[in-house]
Amino acid sequence: MIKSISGGVCAPKGFRAGGVHCGIRKNKIKKDLALIVADVRCATACVYTTNLVKGAPILVTKKNVADGYAQAVIVNSGNANTCNANGVEIAEQMCALVERHTGIAAGDVVVASTGVIGQPLSIEPIAGGMQELVCSLGDNSSAAAEAIMTTDTVKKEIAFSFDLDGATCKIGAICKGVGMICPNMATMLMFITTDAAVSPAMLQKAVSADVKDSLNMLSVDRDTSTNDTLCIMASGLAGNREIVSAGADYKKFCAALHEVTSAMCRMLAADGEGATKLVECRVVGAKSKKAARLAAKSVINSNLVKAAMFGSDANWGRVLCALGYAGADLDVNRIDVRFSSPAGEVSVCENGSGITFSEEEAKKVLSEKEIVIGVDLKEGNFSATAWGCDLTYDYVKINGDYRT
């Protein structure tokens, strides 16, 4: 059984975290530098942005985790360290600072940055804040979660416990990202820790498979970030037999991992830039998994659907339109659509055609903060869920002066 617990990335055995304001951000009350350290070298796996323009930290992290192991994560916010001539040098210096202050080898450090693209990042504030950062290490997952925020309005952390091979294991995470989020690695930054014993190869297999039905099904604005990084570290300190192949224990671990990533997807979508509503599209009855995913993502990506959700307008034709251009194998003459929320449920389309429904009741359903768009393709047994948000005036305001 998977149980919700507290502690974030510090819940699993062998992990400490901290976060401070070092001076990258002008606002002194906003933390901008985070550190996660493990007591031992951990099996480590990562997934990155598919954008051809990649932040320098990704290049350094790929090199450092090439052997499948890492022991620390350092992250700054306020500056993406992307498209900078000396970006790789700065990222490597950040890793060297971790070694100098903790004794953890620079080659065992995952480094990440988030913030404005194309602005030089000085190593000086980071170096100046390292001593305070190391002193802050402890059961401080929330401080680390705060330090990686950019336009996020709330901290995002979570943790669960689950059983493997008679041992109680824990998995925790922090993440950030409420803009520049689009399918095909869609998280911005997420750091997951676990004390389960999993080999690097199986950890990579689990993460690479999971993102197809979690992070790649998340979209805020159809813009893929340059710095997206998901990193998971497994200390193995829970005491279970190491997972080295697919089997019952591997499936249990994957289930716990998906509990984390899917929960985070909901948090990220609900906090989308300027968003007032979490919008979830659940597609059932598809001929294939691919068709289900394409259909769900197309609805969530539609700016017209997103705008309709903002206005609590049951404009179901926009849903059909998005399904029609999704590129999925489906028969538009068989589609049913319904809207639901804590206020109730209303069917608006059957067999690809409109049906009579109460606009007043639909308005009530769509005025809630969490809305589900249910789509039944009625052609097969495959399903998929995608997460997104409404499109509001504030999204334009936030991004109109993001840099200045």
Q: For 138-167, what is each residue's pLDDT tens digit? A: 999 999 999 999 888 899 999 999 999 999
- Picking from 108-122, 216-230, 337-351, which range would have the lowest pLDDT averaged per residue? 216-230
Mean pLDDT of 18-34: 94
Given this model, what pLDDT does residue 385 score? 97
Cβ proximity of 313 and 371 under 8 Å? no
- How confident is the prediction for the chain on average, in pLDDT? 94
Given this model, what pLDDT does residue 219 score? 85
Three-state SS at 364: helix
Percent of the chain topping pLDDT 90? 83
Whether residue 275 is predicted with pLDDT greater than 90 in this model: the reply is no
What are the φ/ψ torsions at residue 208 (nearest 5 degrees)? -60, -35
The contacts of residue 368 (CB under 8 Å, 6+ apart) are 277, 341, 342, 343
Q: For 75-108, what is each residue's pLDDT tens digit? A: 999 999 999 999 999 999 999 999 999 999 999 9
Given this model, what pLDDT does residue 239 score? 96
Given this model, what pLDDT does residue 50 score? 82
Q: Which domains does the chain have, with CATH numbers?
A: 3-270 (3.60.70.12), 278-400 (3.10.20.340)
- Picking from 178-192, 223-237, 303-317, 366-380, which range would have the lowest pLDDT averaged per residue? 178-192
Whether residue 220 is predicted with pLDDT greater than 90 in this model: the reply is no
Active site residues: 187
Given this model, what pLDDT does residue 116 score? 86
Query: Nearest Cα to 198, choosing from 251, 254, 259, 244?
Result: 244
For residues 91 and 97, what is the distance between their CA atoms, to the nearest angstrom? Answer: 10
Strands 167-176 and 189-194, by their bridges, are: antiparallel
Whether residue 404 is predicted with pLDDT greater than 70 in this model: the reply is no
Q: For 301-359, what is each residue's pLDDT tens digit? A: 999 999 999 999 999 999 999 999 999 999 999 999 999 999 999 999 999 999 999 99
Given this model, what pLDDT does residue 227 score? 81
Given this model, what pLDDT does residue 183 score? 60
Query: Nearest Cα to 368, choosing from 345, 388, 391?
Result: 345
54: confidence class by pLDDT, cuts 50, 70, 90: confident
For residues 159 and 173, what is the distance between their CA atoms, to the nearest angstrom? Answer: 6
What is the identity of the amino acid at 147?
Answer: A
- Picking from 27-31, 56-60, 104-108, 250-254, which range would have the lowest pLDDT averaged per residue? 27-31
Given this model, what pLDDT does residue 181 score? 72
294: confidence class by pLDDT, cuts 50, 70, 90: very high
Q: For 176-215, what is each residue's pLDDT tens digit? A: 987 767 766 655 799 999 999 999 999 999 999 999 999 9
The contacts of residue 281 (CB under 8 Å, 6+ apart) are 296, 299, 300, 372, 373, 375, 385, 386, 387, 388
